Copies of this chain bind each other. A is one copy, B any other.
Amino acid sequence: MPPTKVKSADPAATPKRQHKADAKAAAHPHAKPRPLTRIQREKQDVILEAALEVFSVHGFRGATIDQIAEVAGMSKPNLLYYFPRKEEIHRRLMAALLETWLAPLQSMDADGDPFPEIRSYIRRKLEMARDFPRESRLFANEMLQGAPRIIEMIEVDLKNLVDEKAKVLLTWMDQGKLARTDPYHLIFSIWATTQHYADFDVQVRAVLGSGRNGEGRFEDAARYLEQLFLYGLTPRPKA
C-alpha cells in the first residue's frame, strides 16, 4: 500500500461524540424523546429551508455547511447543534421531498376517465415545477449523481407506485379509452416535460427571452402539453 494517500475507508470507525439529544435518547431507549421545543422546530425549519436553497444548486458534495449556515442566518456550530451531520440535513430534505413528489401520481384515479386524470396530473406536476423549483432541482441533482442516498426508496416505493399506475393505464387502453402504448414511458414523458421547466429554468428563460414570452411560460407550457398528450394519446382506429 502506498503510504502517500490513505483515504480513511471507514468513517464510522472514528469515535464521535453524540449529539446531546441523541445521547439522552440512547441512555433511556424507552423514555419519551422529549418533544421538540418551539425554538428547535423553528430553527430546524429555517435550516432545512436554507439547505434546500443550497443543496438544490450545488448538490450534496458541492454544498458546504458554512454556506447553509449563512443562508440560515446562524453560525456553523449553531447549525451543527440542530443537525449534527451534513448528511442528516440532506436525508431529512430527501425524505420530505419524496412524499411530496409522489403525491400527484398517487392521486391519479383508476375510476376516473383517462383524459381528465392525465390532464390534471400534468397540471399538478407543472404547478409543482412552478411553485417548488428548488425541490425539483434537489431531486434532479440526486438523480444525476445516481441517487446514492435514496436509491432504495426509488426502487421500492416509487417503483411500486409506478407499477400500480401503469396497470391503471393499461386498463384504460384495454377499454379503448386511451391509445395503446407503453405506460411506463408515458409516465416518464410526463415527468420529463413538466420537471424540465424547473430544472432547466435558466435555459427556458434564456430561449424565450425576457419579453412577454418568458412571463407566461407556464401557461403556454400547460396549453402545449395538454394538446400534445391529448392528441398524442387519443385512441385511433387501427390503420
Q: Please give the residue numbers on chain A whose beta carbons come within 8 Å of chain B beta carbons, in ascending order.
A: 5, 56-63, 70, 137, 140-141, 143-147, 151, 154-155, 158-159, 162, 179, 181-182, 184-186, 188-189, 191-193, 195-197, 199-200, 202-204, 206-209, 213, 220-221, 223-225, 227-234, 236
Contacts and interface: CB of A to CB of B under 8 A. Distances in A.
Interface of A, helix, strand, loop or mixed by DSSP: helix
Contact of A225 (B143, B185, B208): B185
Contact of A58 (B62, B197, B227, B236): B62
Nearest to A161: B207
Nearest to A190: B193
A162 B200 CA distance: 15
How many copies make up the complex? 2
Contacts of A144: 56-57, 59, 137, 140-141, 144, 199
Contacts of A231: 179, 231-234, 236
Closest 5 CB pairs of A and B: A232-B232, A61-B62, A192-B196, A62-B62, A185-B224
A196 B191 contact: yes
Contact of A151 (B140, B202, B204): B202
Nearest to A4: B75
26 contacts: A57-B145, A59-B59, A61-B62, A140-B144, A141-B141, A141-B144, A147-B203, A147-B206, A154-B203, A158-B203, A159-B207, A159-B209, A179-B231, A182-B224, A184-B213, A184-B220, A189-B224, A189-B228, A191-B196, A192-B195, A228-B229, A229-B232, A230-B232, A231-B234, A231-B236, A232-B232
Contacts of A224: 181-182, 185-186, 189
